[in-house]
Chains A and B, each alone.
Chain A
Amino acid sequence: MDLLIFYFFAGLAMIAAMGVVAVRSAVYSALCLAVVFVSLAALYVLLSAPFIAVAQVMIYAGAILILFVFVIMMLSPGVDQGAGALKRQRPLAIVFGLALVIELLAVLAVAGLPAARGTFTPEKIAQIGSVQAVGAALFTDFLLPFEITSLLLLVAIIGVIVLAKKPRKG
Chain B
Amino acid sequence: MTVHHFIILSAILFSIGAVGVLVRRNPLIMFMSVELMLNSVNLAFVAFSRYLQVLDGQVFVFLILAVAAAEVAVGLAIIVAIFRTRETVDVDEISGLKG
CB distance from A152 to the nearest CB of B (A): 5
Contact string against A for B residues 49-80, beta-carbon threshold 8 Å, 1 for contact and 0 otherwise: 11111111011011101111111111011111
Closest to A164 in B: B77
Q: Contact between B49 and A49 (Cβ–Cβ < 8 Å)?
A: yes
Q: Contact between A113 and B59 (Cβ–Cβ < 8 Å)?
A: no
Q: Contact between B36 and A72 (Cβ–Cβ < 8 Å)?
A: no
| A117 interface residue (CB < 8 Å to B) | yes
Count of chain B residues with Cβ under 8 Å from any Cβ of A? 69
CB proximity to B under 8 Å, residues A119-143:
119-122, 125, 133-134, 137-138, 141-142
Q: Contact between B28 and A26 (Cβ–Cβ < 8 Å)?
A: yes
Closest to A161 in B: B77
Q: Pick the contact of B39: A37, A71, A141, A146 (CB < 8 A).
A: A37
Chain B contact surface mostly: helix
Q: Contact between A71 and B65 (Cβ–Cβ < 8 Å)?
A: no
Q: Contact between A75 and B83 (Cβ–Cβ < 8 Å)?
A: yes
Q: Contact between B33 and A20 (Cβ–Cβ < 8 Å)?
A: yes
> CA A48 – CA B1 in complex, angstroms?
13
**Which of chain A's residues have a CB closer than 8 A to the CB of B78?**
163
Interface size on A, as a range, is 35 or more
Q: Pick the contact of A74: B17, B24, B26, B80 (CB < 8 A).
A: B80
**Which of chain A's residues have a CB closer than 8 A to the CB of B33?**
20-21
> CA A137 – CA B42 in complex, angstroms?
17
Q: Contact between A64 and B9 (Cβ–Cβ < 8 Å)?
A: no
> CA A56 – CA B51 in complex, angstroms?
20
CB distance from B44 to the nearest CB of A (A): 10
10 pairs, A vs B, C-beta closer than 8 Å: A20-B16, A21-B24, A29-B29, A29-B32, A33-B32, A48-B50, A49-B61, A96-B22, A101-B15, A142-B63
Given contacts A47-B50, A120-B55, A156-B69, 8 further A-B contacts (CB under 8 A): A52-B42, A52-B62, A60-B65, A77-B28, A96-B22, A101-B11, A160-B73, A163-B81
